[in-house]
């Protein structure tokens, strides 16, 4: 490995981490100007498949759903996973959206079903934001006591499904769609309007874990022809360094910065993604020693 390659980091990450990770990259390279950090954004499921199916080189994987790392990368590609941030689902729109003056937390589900309203969502098989849109719809059906809502909304406007949630922003900004299911943090980062959803359906509140579990969706699994059942649960991001990372030492140093209180965690908080560090980890024993302070053992 030549000197230039030795100073390069490859990071596969969820689209919803694009803004904070770019800021972290800028801060980190101020102190480490010889480091080249390559940020590659995609839906978290797609990120994992680049590693498992396409054998692409990667140092760090940061997922919008920590269970993607657990289910698709452990134990073959990494042995550990640190939960580091949370988020919540919201309904995002702009001034030109139809019924933008009327929409609120009580009527959004009725407005999205209107014939003249077009909404978008991410692909559940590529992006956690996509399957979380489906889970939110199922929970909304129960919460608002609106029988059949989930099936109706999921079958509507299917031509506006995209591989990752940030792909939908262009559709919104061009007035092609009126609304979209999106993380609240991304809406904040892009200065968009959004409806704050009740905790019972926004997948934010850990105390509502049991209610969230009543929603589920099957997505494409690790092997062809298999499926993974995603069950509703509080939104938790996860991060790991790959076992065969081309630059493991540097990767661990950057993850240390990402998780540090005055480094990446502060940037995440400023971008609407509250820190969860330190969180309990089922893989605590396998976490590298220098990162153990960012997690807690379960027993």
Prior bond of 278 cis (ω within 30°): yes
Interatomic CA distance for residues 101 and 270, integer angstroms: 28
Per-residue model confidence as pLDDT tens digits over 266-293:
999 999 999 999 999 999 999 999 999 9
**In CATH, 89-219 is 3.40.190.10:** yes
pLDDT of residue 5: 57
Interatomic CA distance for residues 204 and 287, integer angstroms: 26
| 8 A C-beta contact, residue 9 and residue 254 | yes
pLDDT of residue 222: 77
Interatomic CA distance for residues 29 and 99, integer angstroms: 45
Q: What is the CATH T-level fold of the domain 3-86+236-297, as seen in this structure?
A: D-Maltodextrin-Binding Protein; domain 2 (3.40.190)
- Distance between alpha carbon 284 and the CA centroid of its chain, in Å? 22
Q: Given pLDDT bands bounded at 50, 70 and 90, which one contains residue 2?
A: very low
Residues of the chain with CATH 3.40.190.10: 3-86+236-297, 89-219
Interatomic CA distance for residues 17 and 68, integer angstroms: 15
Prior bond of 75 cis (ω within 30°): yes
Per-residue model confidence as pLDDT tens digits over 90-135:
999 999 999 999 999 999 999 999 999 999 999 999 999 999 999 9
What is the greatest pairwise CA distance in the chain?
62
Interatomic CA distance for residues 220 and 203, integer angstroms: 22
Q: What is the pTM of this model?
A: 0.90
Measure Cα distances from 169 to 73, 119, 122, 165 in Å: 29, 11, 11, 8
pLDDT of residue 299: 76
């Amino acid at each position: 490995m030549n000197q230039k390659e030795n100073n390069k980091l490859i990071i596969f990450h969820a689209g919803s981490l694009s803004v904070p990770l770019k800021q972290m990259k800028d801060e980190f390279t101020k102190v480490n100007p010889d480091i080249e950090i390559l940020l590659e954004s995609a839906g978290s499921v797609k990120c994992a498949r680049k590693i498992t199916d396409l054998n692409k080189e990667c140092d760090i994987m940061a997922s919008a759903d920590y269970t993607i790392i657990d289910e698709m990368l452990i134990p073959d590609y990494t042995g550990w996973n640190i939960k580091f941030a949370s988020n919540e689902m919201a309904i995002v729109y702009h001034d030109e959206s139809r019924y933008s003056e009327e929409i609120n937390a009580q009527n959004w589900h009725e407005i999205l079903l209107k014939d003249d309203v077009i909404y978008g969502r991410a692909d559940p098989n590529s992006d956690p934001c996509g399957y979380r849109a489906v889970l939110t719809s199922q929970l909304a059906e129960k919460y608002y006591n609106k029988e059949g809502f989930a099936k109706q909304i999921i079958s509507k406007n299917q031509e506006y499904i995209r591989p990752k949630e940030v792909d939908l922003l262009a559709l919104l900004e061009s007035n092609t769609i009126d609304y979209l299911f999106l993380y609240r943090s991304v809406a904040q980062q892009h200065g968009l309007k959004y409806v704050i959803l009740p905790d019972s359906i926004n997948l934010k509140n850990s105390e509502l874990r049991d209610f969230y579990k009543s929603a589920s969706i099957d997505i494409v699994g690790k092997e062809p022809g298999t499926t993974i059942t995603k069950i509703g649960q509080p939104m938790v991001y996860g991060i790991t360094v790959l076992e065969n990372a081309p630059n493991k030492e540097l990767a661990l140093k950057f993850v240390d910065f990402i998780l540090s209180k005055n480094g990446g965690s502060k940037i995440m908080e400023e971008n609407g993604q509250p820190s969860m560090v330190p969180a309990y980890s089922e893989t605590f024993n396998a976490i590298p020693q220098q990162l153990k302070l960012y997690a807690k053992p379960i027993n």
